[in-house]
Amino acid sequence: MLHDYMDVCSVTPADADRIDGYLSAIAKLKDDGTSFQCVYLGEGEPSGKAATIEKKFQFGSHVTLVSEREKLTAQNLPESLERWFLDRIRPMDDLVVDRRLVSGLADELADIFQRAPAWFTVNCGDIGATPRLGVFWSIYVFGLERGSCAVHCSWDD
């Protein structure tokens, strides 16, 4: 019985693709030059994925993962990630991004993980070692012991 529960909680590359599709829809609706990408990081807890992040995003120095546990919204998303979804940079019109998009993503994550994932932000102290990730960018790492993903948020003018 425990084995079945563990299988349900596993995160796969297909799950990351599913999240990526949702994020692409949010970016398209925002229509302000923001892009989002979800990347599968493999099995294991997100707190142990710093080296994987360095490799996948080509950082030139070590990164640290900072817990977002104290900054989660009611949707169990980091406050700053929610701002990425809802705020528009240089909007071309008065469109307001519907908060239901955030709820939809939270529902997708709940369906995939079956419980609240842990969230971390990526910090790189050496700005010169930061790869070209966008004029403004953030990377969020999230998951459980059975698998982790990263969301790369960026904006270019």
Question: How confident is the model over 73-105, as pLDDT tens digits?
Answer: 988 999 999 999 988 776 666 667 778 888 889
**What's the pLDDT score for residue 131?**
67
Which pLDDT belongs to residue 93? Answer: 66
pLDDT at 137 over 60: yes
Side chain identity at residue 35, one-letter code: S
What pLDDT does residue 6 have?
43
Question: What confidence score (pLDDT) does residue 23 get?
Answer: 95
Query: Looking at per-residue confidence, does 32 or 4 come out higher?
Result: 32
pLDDT computed for residue 39 by the predictor: 96
Burial class (CB in 10 A: 0-12, 13-18, 19+), 56: middle
Instruction: Please give the pLDDT value at position 91.
Output: 64
Please work out, in degrees rounded to the nearest 5, the angle formed at the alpha carbon of residue 124 by the alpha carbons of 45 and 103.
55
Rounded CA gap, 113 and 15, in Å?
A: 9
Predicted local distance difference test score (pLDDT) of residue 3: 37
Better pLDDT: 39 or 1? 39
Question: How high is the pLDDT of residue 122?
Answer: 95
Give the type of residue at 95: L
Q: Domain spans of the chain?
A: 2-155
Task: For the chain, give the mean pLDDT.
Answer: 86
Residue 128: the pLDDT is 62
Work out the percent of the chain whose per-residue pLDDT is above 90. Answer: 52
| pLDDT at residue 7, as a whole number | 46
The DSSP output letter for 21 is H
- pLDDT-derived band at 142 (thresholds 50, 70, 90) equals very high
